[in-house]
Amino acid sequence: MDRREFLGKVGAGTLGGWLAGQAHLAQGALEQAEARGEPRKAEGRPNVLIIMCDQLNARVLGCYGGDVPTANIDRLAREGVLFTDATCPWPVCSPTRASLITGLYPHTHGITYNVNRRDYPAIKPPASDEGIKASDITAEKLLYELGYQTHHYGKWHLMDEDLPYYRDMFGEHREYMQIMARTFDEVRKRPREQWMDWYDWALPVTVSPALQKAVRSLGDRWNGKRYSEFITKMGRLDLPLEQDFDVQVADRTIACLRRLGRAPFMVTCSFNHPHDPNVASSPYYEMFLPEKIRLPANYGKRESRFEKDWSRQIVADLGEPGLREFLRIYYGCVKKIDDLVGRILRALDETGRADNTIVLFTADHGDMAGGHGMVWKSTSAFYDEIVRVPLIIRYPAKVKPARMSIAACLTDVMPTLLNLVGCPIPAHVQGHSLAPYLRGQKDLDQAAAYTFSERLVANETHARKVAPDTPGSFMVRGRGWKHIRYRGNDEYLYDLVRDPGETKNLANDPAFQEWKKQLRRELENWLLTTGFPERRTP
């Protein structure tokens, strides 16, 4: 669909109205498939288990060459297909999560901000705050309509209304906070310096002497800064491991797998860590000694453009001791997630349904994790630390183990899953199915060569609408290169083969102008074919 056709469909009404129209098209596709003799019921189709994290830097995982021993995630990689160059369409939670389940880019589905529940007391979104609606065409909705048992446990971050296909959701705010209410009330009775208030979670924390010293050196520089408490009170979480949110998410996922009937299922297990709160319960907090952690090779390589970003200010102000404490906790949280993945895989094995279950492991975006002297995702950059994500797909019955370096984006997840289970892919979906490459039906050189990512200024009312004059920054990545155009037309070009740490900007080097021109064309073509609102000055 080109830009004119897209705008013709959308311009006269709201994006929600256009998506509602796509619901009829999707339903029609199912009916046409049935008329061709293809089964419309779920019987005989494979199961789907999605395990995802928030803010997981692919480079820290053992199977991606990282320093955290991740035996269970590595097992998935050995038994499935590991994508070495998968990226997210926007290195922020909600925009990418919406893309993952709809197969649409953020500028199309319109979620260009982080969505929060209306009944969540710590954040008061505008009255028009919009997230995923029951009318949206998602993989979960289509499989539910086929007869799949659909369940979601853990972080959602897309809530606008309750969804018919997720009737037993367990989330990080309403459900977990109800369970933990009495515990959190007791924690709030402690001296204020002994606990962290993380979006109304009252977390008892022991802060290391090294971090306390670094925090004291700040004086009052961080007074009044948003999120400062999340950093100054990093440390050991003084709660029993069974009260950890992610542990409870895994517990519910396992219980669900064990009680499901014989009908095919789609279960999503969505962990919060290693996203903040940067706290880790024992024994994970003690597993990585700060002084023995290897800092990234590009730790000292910085661009002046990002010096004022919060991701950079954290490390600039707290120094190497603060960074090492952060990484100690981050690595501990990743190790915890790996152990929970192991528990879930064992439970799946025990059901006898592992061979016919598609297991997909990924994350919504990464974390700077010390790269370029930054942590978190709170930067305007498109560095690989936050744009590149782990993506592993295991399907023993149909897919042989492999490592694939083809360009893959999280917008491809929805059409890939639909393709693998034999459900028609709605025509409006913008992602590409990876299933033909997983099954060996297409040569890898036929795959898309590039992935794309964007950052747009959110609609002030948090409505799902991207206006033609919306400022934005864009990235194209592929064939060993990355080109970025930031707001203000600042351009960056990196040779990812010779410079994987992205330490040298080649955008103005005469020797690389042809690559820059080619990547510019690819970016413009992507904006055109995905229906981005008419061109404007970034």
DSSP collapsed to 3 states, 205-238: EECCHHHHHHHHCCCCCCCCCCCHHHHHCCEEEC
User: Region 305-319: what's the mean pLDDT?
Assistant: 97
Question: In the CATH scheme, what is the code of domain 3-177+239-272+333-454?
Answer: 3.40.720.10
- In the predicted model, is pLDDT for residue 14 greater than 80? no
Write the pLDDT tens digit of every residue in 488-512. Answer: 889 999 999 999 999 999 999 999 9
By the 8 A CB rule, do 323 and 375 touch? yes
Phi-psi region of 292 (alpha: psi -120 to 50; beta: other; left: phi over 0): alpha
User: Region 14-27: what's the mean pLDDT?
Assistant: 50
Amino acid in the structure at residue 98: A
User: Region 430-455: what's the mean pLDDT?
Assistant: 97
- In the predicted model, is pLDDT for residue 435 greater than 90? yes
DSSP designation for 46: P
User: Region 428-446: what's the mean pLDDT?
Assistant: 97
Write the pLDDT tens digit of every residue in 279-294. Answer: 999 999 999 999 999 9
- In the predicted model, is pLDDT for residue 194 greater than 60? yes
- In the predicted model, is pLDDT for residue 319 greater than 80? yes
User: Which residue, 76, 55, 5, 31, is CA-closest to 386?
Assistant: 55
Q: Supply the pLDDT for residue 9.
A: 46
Q: Supply the pLDDT for residue 465.
A: 87
pLDDT range class, residue 226, cuts 50, 70, 90? confident
- Reading the block at residue 353, the tokens are 């349904």
- In the predicted model, is pLDDT for residue 151 greater than 60? yes
By the 8 A CB rule, do 466 and 456 touch? yes
By the 8 A CB rule, do 215 and 228 touch? no
pLDDT range class, residue 535, cuts 50, 70, 90? low
Beta strands 279-281 and 47-54: pairing type? unpaired
User: Region 179-207: what's the mean pLDDT?
Assistant: 97
Average per-residue pLDDT in the chain?
Answer: 91
Place of tokens 């004291």: 216
Q: Supply the pLDDT for residue 31.
A: 52
pLDDT range class, residue 3, cuts 50, 70, 90? very low
Q: Give the predicted TM-score (pTM) of the model.
A: 0.92
CA distance 359 to 397: 12
CA distance 432 to 239: 43
User: Region 332-346: what's the mean pLDDT?
Assistant: 98
